[in-house]
């Protein structure tokens, strides 16, 4: 068959759930699809024919103009707490084509974002701007390079059409690849708008998809809750370790798989400030950098609420078990965060005073208005004989304490240096880098800067000359704001 030339091996297990979880929805064709970016390495990773996808028919598939026989396009229904307020939601501009299985047995969702109206568009046009779709491509691939669980971007296709936002924008379709799109908000939807059996069907589906070893466990729903807690705690700890601010941690944006998803008003922190907020719509700082771990726990509590009827027939006992399990989130998060921070400052032997020393560093960074990423780069390179650029007295005092602690490692300086290089990125998708590349692409049709940035972010721990040169650029002063791009 012709479609086999592209390498698709589709199934549609999500469509076996009760019908209220989704609506069959075809993508809306666009006028002149044109390929802007194709992630050839990701395509090959999933045994897709990258060459074929760049041809006319392949681009039409990625634009939503051509629906292959093996596809069953659906829009998923879900709900969510948006900035604390519960509402019915759903895929307003995203369409799931199916679940693709590669030759090693990995199964991933293939989704078109910006593919047109769906029953959940809530008055929107279902389209997306070229800039926001390029931004998601850059940010998601940058996160992947950093080793942070994330959805990924396969392609960006221009549509040849314009959309109306505050101004007329060129529109585009992003092809997103994810372990799944099941969200905390999907369970909230089942709880609020379905039956207990709907919740059970969804939970059983998610367990089979993400934690198949739990299928035959007697207490599988509590065990499933524990797994989701562990994944979310680990994910958010990884965000904090690199200064990433998601910007919109609504329950509909938190996945059961533990992947970062929905790159709207996200950004990376420059100057260390725990109260940093970038999102233009987060007026009260609900999703500020320092709030992310707490909001992760809040979201987990909403997930657990949906599972209560499945945990035990006795509601009082179910609530007690759920609360006991939820209470592990905070310690689990802190375990992952402290482990990661120890690695960032070169420690491998665990000592009780480490947490105090690490907190002291963060305090110095805040007081001295030091750049988060550059500080760890400087500490890393100092072990390679480079002179540290930070010269304040208070930071020099902390460094002396740090060096004395390193002496207790009983490892060579080279070993410690190599450890720190593996966890402290030489480059991140810094806000001004991303905006500069997007401006060139959207305003001048020059996509070279986008491609260069993506290449530099593929291995952010390389410490290449190009990465060092990029990170040495002057950081613009003043507030930086990000927008949802909807």
Measured CA angle at 154 (ends 149, 159), to 5 deg: 135
- Evaluate if residue 69 carries a pLDDT over 70: yes
**Residue 377: pLDDT band by 50, 70, 90 thresholds?**
very high
Per-residue tokens: 481: 């704001």
Give the model's pLDDT for residue 484. 58
- Evaluate if residue 475 carries a pLDDT over 80: no
Give the model's pLDDT for residue 336. 98
Give the model's pLDDT for residue 281. 79
**Residue 97: pLDDT band by 50, 70, 90 thresholds?**
very high
- Evaluate if residue 486 carries a pLDDT over 50: no
- Evaluate if residue 280 carries a pLDDT over 90: no
Phi and psi at 148, nearest 5°, equal: -100, 130
Query: What is the pLDDT of the chain when averaged over all its residues?
Result: 94
- Evaluate if residue 3 carries a pLDDT over 80: no
Give the model's pLDDT for residue 59. 98
Report the C-alpha gap between 47 and 223 in whole angstroms. Answer: 33
- Please give the share of the chain, as a percent, with pLDDT higher than 70: 97
Give the model's pLDDT for residue 282. 81
Q: Where in the chain are the domains? A: 2-178, 184-337
- Evaluate if residue 75 carries a pLDDT over 90: yes
* Residue-wise pLDDT tens digits, 300-339: 999 999 999 999 999 999 999 999 999 999 999 999 999 9
Q: Mean pLDDT across the stretch 418-426? A: 97
Give the model's pLDDT for residue 478. 56
Give the model's pLDDT for residue 1. 44
- Please give the share of the chain, as a percent, with pLDDT higher than 90: 90
| Choice among 91, 211, 252, 371 that is catalytic | 252
Residues 77 and 90: beta-carbon distance below 8 Å: yes
Polymer length of the chain: 486
Q: Mean pLDDT across the stretch 349-376? A: 96
**Residue 441: pLDDT band by 50, 70, 90 thresholds?**
very high
- Evaluate if residue 175 carries a pLDDT over 80: yes
Phi and psi at 372, nearest 5°, equal: -60, -55
Q: Mean pLDDT across the stretch 174-202? A: 98
Least confident of 148-162, 198-212, 279-293, 393-407: 279-293
Per-residue tokens: 252: 């509909």
Q: Is 252 a catalytic residue?
A: yes
* Residue-wise pLDDT tens digits, 222-253: 999 999 999 999 999 999 999 999 999 999 99
Report the C-alpha gap between 317 and 417 in whole angstroms. Answer: 51
Report the C-alpha gap between 115 and 29 in whole angstroms. Answer: 8
Measured CA angle at 254 (ends 26, 213), to 5 deg: 90
Residues 287 and 248: beta-carbon distance below 8 Å: yes
Sign of CA dihedral 17, 20, 23, 24: positive
**Residue 111: pLDDT band by 50, 70, 90 thresholds?**
very high
Cβ contacts of 443-452, under 8 Å, gap ≥ 24: 447/36, 447/37, 450/37, 450/134, 450/137, 450/138, 451/37
Give the model's pLDDT for residue 165. 87
- Evaluate if residue 275 carries a pLDDT over 60: yes
The DSSP bridge pattern shows strands 22-24 and 74-76 to be antiparallel
* Residue-wise pLDDT tens digits, 19-55: 999 999 999 999 999 999 999 999 999 999 999 999 9
């Amino acid at each position: 068959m012709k479609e086999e030339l592209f390498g698709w091996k589709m199934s549609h297990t999500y469509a076996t759930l009760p019908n209220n979880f989704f609506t069959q929805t075809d993508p809306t064709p666009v006028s002149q699809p044109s390929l802007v970016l194709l992630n050839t390495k990701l395509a090959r990773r999933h045994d897709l024919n990258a060459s074929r996808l760049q041809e006319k028919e392949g681009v039409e598939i990625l634009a939503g103009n051509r629906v292959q026989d093996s596809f069953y396009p659906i829009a998923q229904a879900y709900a969510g707490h948006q900035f604390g307020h519960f509402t019915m939601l759903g895929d307003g501009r995203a369409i799931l084509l199916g679940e693709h299985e590669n030759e090693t047995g990995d199964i991933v969702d293939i989704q078109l974002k910006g593919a047109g109206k769906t029953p959940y568009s809530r008055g929107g046009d279902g389209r997306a701007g070229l800039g926001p779709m390029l931004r998601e491509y850059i940010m998601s691939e940058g996160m992947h390079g950093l080793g942070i669980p994330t959805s990924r971007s396969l392609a960006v296709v221009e549509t040849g059409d314009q959309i109306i936002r505050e101004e007329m924008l060129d529109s585009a379709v992003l092809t997103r690849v994810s372990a799944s799109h099941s969200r905390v908000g999907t369970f909230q939807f089942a709880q609020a708008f379905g039956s207990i059996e709907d919740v059970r069907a969804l939970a059983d589906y998610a367990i089979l998809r993400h934690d198949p070893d739990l299928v035959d466990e007697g207490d599988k729903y509590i065990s499933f809750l524990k797994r989701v807690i562990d994944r979310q705690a680990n994910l958010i700890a990884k965000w904090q370790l690199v200064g990433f601010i998601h910007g919109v941690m609504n329950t509909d944006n938190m996945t059961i798989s533990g992947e970062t998803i929905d790159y709207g008003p996200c950004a990376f922190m420059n100057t260390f400030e725990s109260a940093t907020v970038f999102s233009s719509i987060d007026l009260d700082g609900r999703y500020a950098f320092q709030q992310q771990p707490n909001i992760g726990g809040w979201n987990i509590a909403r997930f657990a609420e949906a599972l209560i009827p499945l945990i035990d027939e006795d509601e009082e006992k179910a609530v007690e078990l759920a609360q006991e399990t939820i209470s592990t989130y905070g310690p689990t998060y802190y375990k992952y965060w402290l482990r990661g921070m120890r690695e960032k400052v070169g420690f491998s032997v665990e000592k009780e005073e480490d947490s105090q020393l690490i907190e002291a560093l963060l305090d110095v960074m805040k007081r001295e208005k030091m750049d988060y990423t550059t500080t760890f780069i400087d500490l890393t390179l100092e072990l390679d004989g480079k002179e540290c650029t930070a010269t304040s007295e208070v930071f020099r005092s902390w460094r002396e304490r740090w060096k004395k602690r390193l002496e207790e490692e009983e490892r060579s300086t080279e070993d410690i240096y190599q450890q720190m290089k593996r966890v402290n990125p030489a480059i991140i998708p810094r806000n001004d880098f991303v905006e500069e590349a997007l401006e060139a692409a959207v305003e001048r049709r020059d996509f070279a800067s986008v491609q260069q940035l993506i290449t530099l972010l593929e291995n952010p721990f390389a410490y290449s000359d190009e990465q060092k040169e990029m990170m040495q650029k002057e950081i613009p002063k003043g507030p930086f704001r990000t927008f949802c791009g909807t």
